[in-house]
Chain A
Amino acid sequence: MEVPRMVGPHQHTGTARRHDPLVDEPAARPSATGHALRPVPVETMVEDRRSRLVPVNDDNIERFRGRWVALSPDGEVVADAAELDELLALVEHDGPRPDVLVQRVPEADAPMFVGLG
């Protein structure tokens, strides 16, 4: 059974200049047919940069799949846990944390969600 854990800065695997999915063109990704498809550029996403919802840093995503994570304003994972209530208790143990955003990182093979069914 995995336990909730705080993630220290020394554990981050990000590079000096983190990939910014709001600005950088998304990287090419192999398709199911083996061809490298480049995602459609989404320049219009840059318009609203004030949104508080930040995407998780791609550099760290794989190790947190299937877990709830707390993200810093830069999209770095600062804590993770198996369940939502465990994570909230962990990140707010020492006081309010309005700076973090909580979400669950889906499994790599998670089906596409199209409603409650």
Chain B
Amino acid sequence: VVAWTFRHVDLQEPWHPDGTRILRPAVPLLRSPGTAQLVGVIDSGSPISVADARLFGQLGVDVDNDPPLYEVGLTVAGHFARAPVFAVTLWLNPPAGSGAAVSWNLPLVARRGWRLPFAVLLGQRGWFDRFPTRIDAMSCTVEV
């Protein structure tokens, strides 16, 4: 089994009241090999994977006109909204010197009004069902 380790990342969120930084378990994602890297934050408590709706055009999906796989209900900024889910392909970029990027297919929710400090939230469906992942206080180790 090949495993890649990624140290948690400070996304410049406001600090904890005690003066410590917030660190997120995060991995570098690609839309395809050679493209700019996107930050994907791993969230084991999320049942689904979600991304900024504005990313989908870059993935070849027209959020407004393409038929989604299905829709899910999300609360966004305190308001309930239906969000479409599309089948997309993403690539996981390895740590430097650890081999080539790995692609996988996943159902990804397109969320409008995205204001989070990363592009993709990686949850149980779409991430953990493909990549067994161990998360500790400072890093995550991903089996690829």
Q: Do A and B bind each other?
A: yes
Interface of B is mostly: loop
The answer on a CB contact under 8 Å between B10 and A55 is yes
The interface size bin for chain B is: 35 or more
Q: How far is the CA of A51 from the CA of B92 in the complex (A)?
A: 12
Q: Which residues of B contact A28 (CB under 8 A)?
A: 19
Q: Which residues of B contact A102 (CB under 8 A)?
A: 36-39, 119
The answer on a CB contact under 8 Å between A116 and B13 is no
Q: For B8, B19, B27, B46, which residue has the most chain A Cβ atoms within 10 angstroms? A: B19
The answer on a CB contact under 8 Å between A110 and B17 is no
The answer on a CB contact under 8 Å between B116 and A52 is no
- Chain B residues 12-45 with CB under 8 Å of chain A are 12-15, 17-23, 26-28, 30, 33-39, 43, 45
Q: Which residues of B contact A92 (CB under 8 A)?
A: 35-36
**Known contacts A44-B138, A117-B75; A53/B6 CB under 8 A:** yes
Residue of A nearest to B40 (CB): A53
What is the size, in residues, of chain A's interface with B at 8 Å between Cβ atoms? 47
Interface of A is mostly: loop
The answer on a CB contact under 8 Å between B36 and A115 is no
Interface residue? B3 (CB, 8 A): no
The answer on a CB contact under 8 Å between A109 and B14 is yes
**Known contacts A26-B21, A100-B37, A106-B12; A50/B54 CB under 8 A:** no
**Known contacts A101-B37, A105-B12, A116-B50; A48/B45 CB under 8 A:** no
The answer on a CB contact under 8 Å between A84 and B119 is yes
Interface residue? B60 (CB, 8 A): no
Residue of A nearest to B75 (CB): A117
Contact indicator per residue, chain B 87-119, by CB within 8 Å of chain A (1) or not (0): 000000101111000000000000100111111
The answer on a CB contact under 8 Å between B10 and A103 is no
Residue of A nearest to B139 (CB): A48
The answer on a CB contact under 8 Å between A103 and B97 is no
Q: How far is the CA of A21 from the CA of B22 in the complex (A)?
A: 13
Please list the 5 inter-chain residue pairs (A to B) with the smallest Cβ-Cβ separation, ordered nearest first: A37-B19, A96-B34, A85-B54, A50-B95, A48-B7
Residues of A within 8 A of B (CB): 21, 26, 28-29, 31-32, 37-40, 42, 44-45, 47-48, 50-53, 55-56, 61, 70, 83-85, 88, 91-92, 96-98, 100-106, 108-110, 112-113, 115-117
